[in-house]
Amino acid sequence: MDSRRKILLDCDPGIDDAIALCLAAAHTEAFCFLGITTVAGNQTIEKVTDNALRLSEFLKLDVPVAQGARTPVIREPLTASGIHGKNGLGDVPFPRAEAEPAGENAVLFMRNKIMELPAQEKVTLIATGPLTNVGLLLKACPEVRERIQEIVIMGGACTGGNVTANAEFNIYEDPEGAAMVFLSGLPIVMCGLDVTAKCGLNREAMAFLLERDGKVSEKVGKMLQFYLDSPGYRDKETASIHDAVPFMYLLHPELFQGEKMYVQVDCSQGISRGATVCDRRSSAHGQEPPVMVLLKGDSDKFREYLLEAVFSLDEKLSE
C-alpha cells in the first residue's frame, strides 16, 4: 500500500501558493497529490486556475486541476494584485499548460476524489486560499467528514491581521466560508500569521536563487523579487512565504509549536469582520478543542529546508 499522505490542495496561486507547490513537488516521497482545486482570492478564478494548471505541469506534478468558487459565499471578491501582480505570480511567466481544468466543479471534484479512496484511507485537505470551496464541501457533502484525516489551513491569526487590524486575507476574503470550516468540529491545524509571518525567504536567499541558474530557482527567485520590491516589503529583509507553512508543518512538525484552541470567525459587519477569535480557555467548551493553532516556528530551518527543496527540484526537473 502507498503510505504517502493523500493530499487535496485548495489554493489561489498566488506567489506563496506557487512556492508552497514547489516545496510539495520536491517531496513526492511524502505527498501523493489527488488533485488541486482553485478558489478566487489573490486573483480572479480564471487566473488562479490557469496558474494552477501551469504550475502542475511546470513542476511535473501533472495532477488534475478543478476550478472552484468564483466568489465568496456572501461577500464580493477582493483580489490582491498589489502583492501578487497582474498574473497572480508576480508577473513571472510560466509556460502555458496543455491540460484543461477537470470537468467537475472543485466541490464535486474533492467529494469524488475523497469517496473514491479505498475504505481504510483518508485524505489531508490543505487550504492556502479563502475557505469557500472547503466550507461548501463540508456543508453539501457531509459523507466526506469521516474520510478526512485533517484540514491544514493557512489563514487567520491569534493576534492581529494583515488586511485589517484584526483579519488575515484568506479569512477576511470569505468569513462565512471559513466559519463553516472552523465550526465543522473536524481536526484542523491553523497556520496563521502568528507563525507564517515569521517563516519566509530573505534577500540573501533571493540572491542565491537568482544566481543559481536552475529552472525552478529562477522562477522562485523572480517571484520573491516581486514580493520584496512591493510596497509592503520594500523596507524589509524578509518576505513571508505563508502558504508553504502547511506543507513544512506536515514534513517537519518538530519545527513548530502550537496549542489546541476553539476558533470562531467573526462574521459580523464590524471592524473585526474576518478575525479568528482564538479561545485559549481549555475548559470553556467541555471537550478537547478541535483546532491546533500554530504559534511559533523555527524561521532558520524553514528557510533552509525551503531552499533545499527548490534546489533539489532544479536537479530533479533537469533529468
Q: Is 14 in the site for ligand BDR (CB under 6 A)?
A: yes
Give, in degrees to the nearest 5, the angle at Cα 259 between 28 and 11: 40
Q: Which helix (H) or strand (E) holds 295?
A: strand 291-297
**Do you find a cis peptide bond into 14, omega within 30 degrees of 0?**
yes
Size of the site for ligand BDR (CB under 6 A): 14
Q: Which three cell numbers stand for residue 269?
A: 459587519
Our CB check for ligand BDR shows the closer of 160 and 187 to be 160
Q: Which of 203, 202, 204, 294 is nearest to 240 (CA)?
A: 202
Ranked by CB distance to Ca ion, the top (closest) residue is 14
What is the nearest approach in angstroms of Ca ion to the Cβ of residue 189? 16
Our CB check for Ca ion shows the closer of 199 and 214 to be 199
Binding mask 206-245 for ligand BDR (x = CB under 6 A): ------------------------------------xx--
- Which residues fall within 8 angstroms of residue 224, CB to CB, at 6 or more apart? 15, 19, 201, 205, 206, 209, 239
Q: Tell me the three state secondary structure of residue 194.
A: helix
What is the nearest approach in angstroms of ligand BDR to the Cβ of residue 125? 15
Our CB check for Ca ion shows the closer of 249 and 311 to be 249
Q: Are 88 and 208 spatial neighbours (Cβ–Cβ below 8 Å)?
A: no
Q: Which entry of Ca ion, ligand BDR, none binds 162, CB below 5 to 8 A by partner kind?
A: ligand BDR
Q: Which three cell numbers stand for residue 152?
A: 491544514
Our CB check for Ca ion shows the closer of 128 and 217 to be 128
What is the nearest approach in angstroms of Ca ion to the Cβ of residue 11? 6
Residue count of the chain: 319
What is the nearest approach in angstroms of ligand BDR to the Cβ of residue 137? 18
Sign of CA dihedral 165, 167, 172, 176: negative
Q: Which entry of Ca ion, ligand BDR, none binds 194, CB below 5 to 8 A by partner kind?
A: none
Our CB check for ligand BDR shows the closer of 57 and 168 to be 168
Q: Which helix (H) or strand (E) holds 318?
A: helix 299-318
242 catalytic per annotation: yes
Catalytic residue (one of 27, 84, 242, 285) = 242
Distances in Å between the alpha carbon of 181 and those of 30, 155, 215, 296?
25, 12, 37, 23
Dist. CA 70–CA 75, nearest whole Å: 11
Q: Which of 103, 122, 132 is nearest to 11 (CA)?
A: 132
Ranked by CB distance to ligand BDR, the top (closest) residue is 169
Q: Which entry of ligand BDR, Ca ion, none binds 168, CB below 5 to 8 A by partner kind?
A: ligand BDR
Considering only residues 151-190, where is the footprint of ligand BDR by CB under 6 A? 154, 162, 168-170
Binding mask 75-104 for ligand BDR (x = CB under 6 A): -----x--x---------------------
Show which residues are catalytic.
Answer: 242
Residues in contact with ligand BDR by the rule CB under 6 A = 14, 16-17, 42, 80, 83, 128, 154, 162, 168-170, 242-243
